[in-house]
Amino acid sequence: MEYTTHREIREKLLNKLIFILGISTIPALCVSLLRFFYVGWKPVFTVHISIVVIFILFAVYRESLSYHIKVAIIIAVFFILGIFSALNLGITAYLIAFLMLSVFFGIIFWGKKPTLFIYFGGGAVILIIGFLTVTGRISPDINIENYTKFFFSWITTFVVFSLITALSIFVVGEIGYLLSNKIFELEKANNKLQIAHDEIKTLSGLLLICSHCKKIRDDSGYWNQIEDYISKHSEAKFSHGICQKCVKKYYPDFDI
């Protein structure tokens, strides 16, 4: 029950997240491409376009993909965004934000142990890019000093901040909402089971019955006819008849 409930919540949340990503990446792409007028065409723009196409197709065909493939694609996309962002702008880029988002989604949809690989992988990416930059083997595509002077650079930063924050708030809030609904459903089911258990327990416990008249003593010490007692403690109804042995004993003249 716990595994099914947990998996069901994560499946619903994942599909909603993919749908939101498919929609929100379109305006984010438009803002990103506006930088073309200031810095010219850069390889990172091609990456952005490719990622938006992937997310749109992802949102359309999300129901046909397996759970683990969907999670892997989301994490891989944010990893790629972080790497190209660092190659584009250097240490001041969104590398850390995108890598942290990968870890965030990993721990929610995959759990702690698989997320360790994402965590150490992100750390390795930062160190490798840093080493290659310091040794002069790679350098940012855009001059950061000139980049910060463009208004659309700050708009892009605002969009990235808004998107990451909104996704984080949505995921945490949706988890709370889905969990509260599921807890409410489980409480209702538990109450029904408890009522049924109490009824069964009452009828299956040790009953004190008179050895002569067959009356049953209740918890208050009163003696009740057996049919009255059972009727009060269950949904059973009684209809009286007479068995063959009693007919012969009490009605010997009656022919059956």
Quote the pTM value. Answer: 0.62
Domain count, the chain: 2
Same domain, 135 and 213: no
Same domain, 28 and 94: yes
Range of the domain at 239: 208-250
pLDDT tens-digit map of 38-73: 777 877 788 888 888 888 888 888 888 888 898 998
Cβ neighbors of 60 (< 8 A, separation 6 or more) are 22
Q: Do 224 and 136 fall into the same domain?
A: no
- pLDDT tens per residue, the chain (256 residues)? 444 566 777 888 888 888 888 888 888 788 777 777 777 787 778 888 888 888 888 888 888 888 889 899 889 988 888 888 888 888 877 888 889 989 988 888 888 888 999 999 999 999 999 999 899 888 887 777 777 787 777 887 888 888 888 888 888 777 777 777 777 777 888 888 877 766 665 556 667 888 778 788 877 778 888 777 777 776 677 777 788 788 777 777 766 5
Contact between residue 22 and residue 59 where contact means Cβ atoms under 8 Å apart: yes
Same domain, 169 and 212: no
Residues 44 and 89 in one domain: yes
- On whether both 214 and 124 belong to a single domain, the answer is no
Give yes or no: residues 110 and 159 share one domain.
Answer: yes
Inside any domain, residue 55: yes
User: In terms of domains, do 228 and 161 share one?
Assistant: no
pLDDT tens-digit series, residues 142-172:
777 777 787 777 887 888 888 888 888 888 7
Residues 6+ apart with CB under 8 A from 126: 95, 96, 99
Task: Tabulate helix, strand, coil % of the chain (nearest 5).
Answer: 75, 0, 20
- Token couple for 252: 């010997």
On whether residue 202 sits in a domain, the answer given is: no
d(CA 135, CA 16): 43
Q: Which residues pair with 194 in a beta bridge?
A: none
Q: 62 and 166: one domain?
A: yes
Taking the C-alpha atoms of residue 83 and residue 86, their distance in angstroms, rounded to an integer, is: 5
Q: Are residues 85 and 162 in the same domain?
A: yes
Q: Does residue 172 share a domain with residue 72?
A: yes
In a shared domain, residues 231 and 156: no
